[in-house]
Amino acid sequence: MDVTEFLSPKEWLGRSAGPRYVQLRRRLEEGISSGVLPPNSSLPPEREIAELTELSRVTVRKAIQELVRQGAIEQRQGSGSFVRAPVEKVEQSLSHLTSFTEDMKRRGKDTTSKWLERGVFMPSPDEVVALGLAAGDSVSRIYRLREAGGQPMALERASLPLDILPNPTEVTTSLYAVLERNGLRPVRAVQKISAINLEPVEAELLGVAEGTAGLSIQRTSYLETGRVAELTRSIYRGDAYDFVAELRLSS
Amino acid sequence: MDVTEFLSPKEWLGRSAGPRYVQLRRRLEEGISSGVLPPNSSLPPEREIAELTELSRVTVRKAIQELVRQGAIEQRQGSGSFVRAPVEKVEQSLSHLTSFTEDMKRRGKDTTSKWLERGVFMPSPDEVVALGLAAGDSVSRIYRLREAGGQPMALERASLPLDILPNPTEVTTSLYAVLERNGLRPVRAVQKISAINLEPVEAELLGVAEGTAGLSIQRTSYLETGRVAELTRSIYRGDAYDFVAELRLSS
DNA sequence: CAGTGGTCTAGACCACTTG
DNA sequence: AAGTGGTCTAGACCACTGA
């Protein structure tokens, strides 16, 4: 069936089935799941949908906006609106401390990093407390966008005491590999997971719509000696990640 | 400072600081964090804000909508728009298998459940597979909205084989307490956590805006014998929960 | 009943992409 | 330059709340 015909309002637009933008959104969802609107195909221009459906463009935009928020559709100004290909989910263990790079390699995906910040800085108050720094100590920071299999997956912002990572530019792929070479790989970590709606900047870096659900993870890692080695604040794409944990009766 | 005066556009509405709805949203955020708009106070009516700011009502609504989505403001049709009181976050362990009821009691919060479904049903294909049911077996289902300290916290949908929970209406507060009485308390569980944007129905039950980030948790629990005791699919409020896990180097 | 938010329209101009 | 999405307006009617 043709998209134009599929959106022709005779078939589906009723008067007592809720707001029209909801009806249009549902129609578009059907189109996507039924294959009339396959992944990566483009929607008709908003103005054309408005004409076809006999709705105003504002109403059409409201319907599409909801789908953009859900991650089903991507809009590019000046270009058009496109059906997004669904993403394959990746599972990550919540009981084993693993390296992103090593983890993805085991899954047969190659990883790349886009550097957003990498160097030695004056610590923020948060960092002083979490890393147990003395007055005047500096921190090494690495902030990057991590990609796997060509897809952006997570924003990772790590801070380490300068003596644990004296030369942050030495890190090219795996941070843990660099630490291990110096005999300073963390053996234990505590992490806190929560759900957030992505801010515009984060969403853009991760290639999803503003407001999409993401996982915010704050992790503190410890060396064998018990010293804090690393404070990491990451944001993972909610549509690309499942975190898996095994629980036992209070031991 | 008076709200009316605070929103008077002379002070903040410029021409080259991005879209006007973004500028208004930021101004309202400032008002909330600075105390000009305290928790539970009401905003001026949309029409009045439009007049004050010399913006159209559509633009005002767009600014407010974003704040509603973030959970900062609540709108009630026919009544008004109100600043929401921030929620205190609760932390939950990801390594100990605990009961919601017991967990909250330890924190000094009383829990209540609103029952959405409770009884014996024909299993869905998902349930047959996850619980290892035989053809013709039924399942006990309990589906409830869990509240703690007067705040809705999570939607919990549990399915159990009929012989493990023969009488689902027997569950009034703690499911695990009922199982324990029969010597069938799970000792181990595997759970999968991901972030989702809440659907309208879920959002309404949890008292937050549609599209707010939430945590979707699917858990399979096992008895000491290794048998599957329970399949639980829950949705937690992202703004009310932190999940905490301890990780160790691959053991 | 008056006042509030919820939906909807027709039309305009701007900002960006693409041939 | 043409076509797309992004922003914005003024005004209308509906649905719900609360005094």
CB proximity B15–strand D (7 Å threshold) = no
From the C1' of C4, which residue's alpha carbon is nearest? B78
List pLDDT tens digits, range A139-155: 999 999 999 888 899 99
User: Residue B191: which of A98, A197, A245 has the nearest Cβ?
Assistant: A245
| Least confident among A228-232, B105-109, B184-188 | B105-109
What ranges in A123-236 are assigned the alpha helix state H? Answer: 125-131, 175-181, 200-206
List chain B residues with CB under 8 Å of A194: 89, 215, 238, 241-243
Q: Do B189 and A247 touch (CB under 8 A)?
A: yes
Q: Using the predicted structure, report yes or no on whether residue A17 has a pLDDT greater than 90.
A: no
Residue pair B158/B230 in contact (Cβ under 8 Å)? The answer is: yes
List pLDDT tens digits, range B180-213: 888 898 988 998 999 998 888 888 889 888 888 9
Model pLDDT, residue A89: 79
Would the pTM count as exceeding 0.75? yes
List the nucleotides on chain D closer than 7 A to a protein CB. 2-12, 15-18
When pLDDT is averaged across residues B48-70 and rounded to a whole number, the result is 92
Model pLDDT, residue B163: 92
Q: Highest mean pLDDT range out of A13-17, A38-42, B68-72?
A: A38-42
Percent of chain B with pLDDT strictly greater than 90: 50
Assign B109 a pLDDT band (cuts: 50, 70, 90).
confident
When pLDDT is averaged across residues B223-243 and rounded to a whole number, the result is 91
Q: Do A215 and B197 touch (CB under 8 A)?
A: no
Fold classification of B90-244 is Chorismate lyase (3.40.1410)
| Least confident among A14-28, A114-128, A160-174 | A14-28
Nearest chain B residue (CA) to A185: B249
Q: Domain segments of chain A: what residues?
A: 3-83, 90-244
Model pLDDT, residue A138: 94
Q: Do A194 and B245 touch (CB under 8 A)?
A: no
Model pLDDT, residue B32: 92
Looking at every residue in chain B, the average pLDDT score rounds to 89
- CA pair distance A63, A75, nearest whole angstrom: 13
Kindly state whether B162 is in contact with chain A, defined as any CB-CB distance less than 8 angstroms: no
Q: Do A248 and B96 touch (CB under 8 A)?
A: yes
Residue pair B108/B122 in contact (Cβ under 8 Å)? The answer is: no
Per-residue buried b or exposed e for A6-33, using 16+ beta carbons within 10 Å of the residue's own CB? bbeeeeebeeeeeebbebbbebbbebbe
Q: Using the predicted structure, report yes or no on whether residue A66 has a pLDDT greater than 70.
A: yes
Q: Highest mean pLDDT range out of A5-19, A55-69, B8-22, B197-211?
A: A55-69
When pLDDT is averaged across residues B213-238 and rounded to a whole number, the result is 92
Kindly state whether A213 is in contact with chain B, defined as any CB-CB distance less than 8 angstroms: yes
| Least confident among A75-84, B3-12, B98-107 | B3-12
Q: Do A187 and B248 touch (CB under 8 A)?
A: yes
Q: Do B97 and A192 touch (CB under 8 A)?
A: no
Model pLDDT, residue A251: 47
* Best of B193, B202, B208, B221 to mutate (most A CBs within 10 Å, chain A): B193
List pLDDT tens digits, range B128-174: 999 999 988 999 999 999 998 888 899 999 999 999 999 999 998 88
More confident residue, B52 or A94: B52
Is there a common fold for A3-83 and A90-244? no
Q: Using the predicted structure, report yes or no on whether residue B15 has a pLDDT greater than 70.
A: no
- CA pair distance A96, A231, nearest whole angstrom: 17
Kindly state whether B189 is in contact with chain A, defined as any CB-CB distance less than 8 angstroms: yes
CATH-assigned architecture of domain B3-83:
Orthogonal Bundle (1.10)
Nearest chain B residue (CA) to A186: B249
Kindly state whether A238 is in contact with chain B, defined as any CB-CB distance less than 8 angstroms: yes
- Give which of B210, B148, B219, B141 is closest to B186, Cα–Cα: B219
When pLDDT is averaged across residues B37-47 and rounded to a whole number, the result is 92
